Amino acid sequence: MSALGQIGSGSLVEDWDDFLIPYKQAVDELKVKLRGIRAQFLKIDGRSPIEFVTGRVKPVDSIKEKMVRRHISEDRLEEDMEDIAGLRIMCQFVEDIYQVVDLLRKRTDINILEERDYVHNKKPSGYRSYHIIFEYPVQMLSGEKVILAEIQVRTLAMNFWATVEHSLNYKYQGVFPDDLKARLQRSAEAAFKLDEEMSEIRDELQETNQKSSDGSLRKLPDENSHIQ
């Protein structure tokens, strides 16, 4: 029997459906809470640093595969696998990422254990995102159960690149010629440059609107001035 086949024969995860109940509940609760924050921002400010929120519980096959790959035993699964429950918060701008992170730090219903800033400290592949590992208490029929979960905060451009790169990695099992790896890295940089450009455009528009309200409208730079 393969290592994957052997996983699940122990007492901890004989019933995966039962094991995953608190993780599913956590994802559902956190999606509601985060979407509620977005709605409040929209009502008060007209815009929100949160564009949209997604969440998922890691599929059982993926859990088993990661247990083998990371040498995680069944009795350490709840402590050593941080992303069984995972959420993603998408933002329009890079600056929004850090505003969302600050909001999460102030919450009393989560206990942040670790933060990983891959936005300004990208992975070798070019991947960028902000990861937060935290504890979250779930109220079960049997009492409170604290689980580990992960939130990834990223821009829409970062998410597009990461989603496509992940699907390519899955399809081709991470086996890429060096020239294609380099192209993926360059495309990641292009996505980040797009984020930076959109932030600059927003800032210039805000400055122009501010000066306009003061009675001194400033002409925007010619769009061709950005062409190199």
Mark whether 150 is an active-site residue.
yes
User: Which residue reads 């059982």 in tokens?
Assistant: 60
Task: Describe the crossing of helices 178-213 and 156-172 by its angle, rounded to 10 degrees.
Answer: 170
Buried b (16+ CB within 10 A) or exposed e, 11-27: eebeeeeebbbbbbbbb
> Can you tell me the distance from the alpha carbon of 56 to that of 137, in angstroms, rounded to the nearest whole number?
17
How many CB atoms are located within 10 Å of the residue 65 CB?
15
Fill in the amino acid letter for 33. K
* Annotated active-site residue in 14, 150, 196, 197: 150
- Antiparallel, parallel or unpaired: β 143-155 and 85-91: parallel
The residues annotated as belonging to the active site are 150
